[in-house]
Amino acid sequence: MKDSNPEGVQPIGQNLIKVISNVCFSGFVFLVLIFTAIAVTYQPPDPWLDSAPALAKLFTQNGNATFKNDNSILRTGEDLASSAGPPVLPPKAAAAAAAAPAITEAVIEKAEEKIENSTVKSGPAAPACDGLAGKAINCSDPRVLIAIERFNLRAFKSIVFLDYQTPVNGSKPNECDVMWRFRNKRERSWRKYRDYRRFKIRVKEDCNYKVVHPGGWHSGVNARRAWIGSRPNAAKKGGNNRKVSPPVSKDDQINDTIPTLGSDSSFRKGKYLYYSRGGDYCKGMNHYMWSFLCGLGEAMFLNRTFVMDLNICLAATYNPSNKDEEGKDFRFYFDFEHLKEVASIVEEGEFLRDWKKWDRTHKKKIPLRKVPSYKTTSMQLKKDKSTIIWRQFDGPEPNNYWYRVCEGQAGNFIKRPWRALWKSKRLMNIVSEISGRMDWDFDAVHVVRGEKARNKELWPHLDSDTSPDAILEKLKGAIQPWRNLYIATNEPFYNYFDKLRSQYKVHLLNDYKELWGNTSDWYNETTALNNGRPVEFDGYMRVAVDTEVLYRAKTRVETFYNLTRDCKDGINTC
């Protein structure tokens, strides 16, 4: 009888076990590979106001990788902070805030106690105030300032008052002018703004003072004159009758000076990341910010100074000529002072001059690494000891976009520093002026029209839902009649919203043209910054100001989700 299990032949059960174990091991390896791929390619979103899916959609919805959104809302770093907690202060601003805390009721009470204590030490006060009746108010009396501070705390609840100047005489015996610095509670930045108003004052029976009537925004012109005259940089005569020229800006918080690298040794000891101009040039401002912050974020990751070009090409969508316009200055749109405080940067012209100077005067060239492709990752450059890492973007679109550097695995390491990019303080001064003229007590509606309203295929109801009659009907349920109503809109026809004037005090951006007209501070300062050439108040500036005034409204009505059933990004995208 033959052996049923000849030598070399394994039982079927053992073969089956081997097959099963091989399948399980293969499955395990496959799962590990999937997990590894997810871990490598996962890119966490930046901490912006919108959700992660909305952000991804905003910055990947492109044709030729040019971002296509309506640009009706333009957010930057000061809009992105969390809704709770105080603003994050850089060291310089933190020191200033610590030295001058906000004016609160507790601070006022301490000032009153100090006055009372000094009165007790100097002897008993006069028994009556009859001697003050009919006489001119002594505006320098500390009790006058206390009365004004208390009034302001009650009248302007959306304002944080930071410091006051001593009141000065107004135009009448019972008037005092005073200037103060403040910030709006809805602004998360540390920046200060100023107002100066005229107050009518009377003496109460207890000898204290009371505000009878407050003046409007910037009505206290005498306080403004006193402040300008007391500034350390104001024009003054010296021993040889030589006049010192005032700075370009009347706002002492604006410092547009370009930082220098200093000596040859300082230049050689530095570490720089230099991006040559790529395909991002002349694209929309959202595209510009997304790419610029990618480069700045990589510089921070590599612990290098970022070489930045202050020249901006403004895309055609922001210009009345409908053409791209070169030669715009970064400082027209963004806060250069703040950027210098929170990031290590050097202006491209300064950098190239120092680089060429070094090459002319030294035999040994500066260590340089050229990076021709965005596919060379930041992680590969982390340990590079070259003085200059030069990323070059010479390929075809979209491979020559700066933001490609931050895609894929690099997104796990490079974090875009949104906190570094704020809107220009000059533009924000216009925002404060508009809001202040409405006494910080206004509501707003955001009306998106333009190309979207004309595109019936993607937004079939938008045009009719943003008609004056439809808007008026919707606002009746949200905003009380005869409130100040600011309309932030891309609708070009000024009289389009006239019907709303029957129910509300309507305000449009064009109502405030003098704030950027040829007699304004903004005009004079930007002209000086632009080497004497006037600067146009362009489409981006208009949207930036509209956005910030909109954010300061007490009640805000949005086009999408409030005025229309259409989705923000077209049908079936809600």
Per-residue pLDDT tens digits for 175-193: 999 999 999 988 878 889 9
How do strand 325-329 and strand 556-557 relate by DSSP bridges? unpaired
Give the span between the Cα atoms of 431 and 549, in whole angstroms: 6
Place of tokens 């002349």: 282
For residue 114, the model assigns a pLDDT of 85
Is 257-420 a CATH 3.40.50 domain?
yes
Considering the chain, what is the average pLDDT of its residues? 83
Q: How confident is the model at residue 255 (pLDDT cuts 50, 70, 90)?
A: confident
Q: Two tokens at 179?
A: 């200037």
- Interval 256-270: pLDDT, tens: 888 887 777 788 889
For residue 63, the model assigns a pLDDT of 35
Give the span between the Cα atoms of 114 and 29, in whole angstroms: 77
Percent share of the chain, pLDDT over 70: 79
Give the span between the Cα atoms of 513 and 238, in whole angstroms: 39
Full-model pTM: 0.82
- Interval 5-23: pLDDT, tens: 555 555 666 666 776 777 7
Whether pLDDT at 524 is above 80: yes
Give the span between the Cα atoms of 174 and 201, in whole angstroms: 5
User: DSSP of 142-194, one letter per residue?
Assistant: HHHHHHHHHHHHHH-TTEEEEEEPPPEE-SSTTEEEEEEEEEETT--S---EE
Q: Give me the residue spans of the domains in the chain.
A: 91-230, 257-420, 425-557
Whether pLDDT at 67 is above 50: no
- Interval 116-144: pLDDT, tens: 877 655 555 444 565 555 578 999 999 99
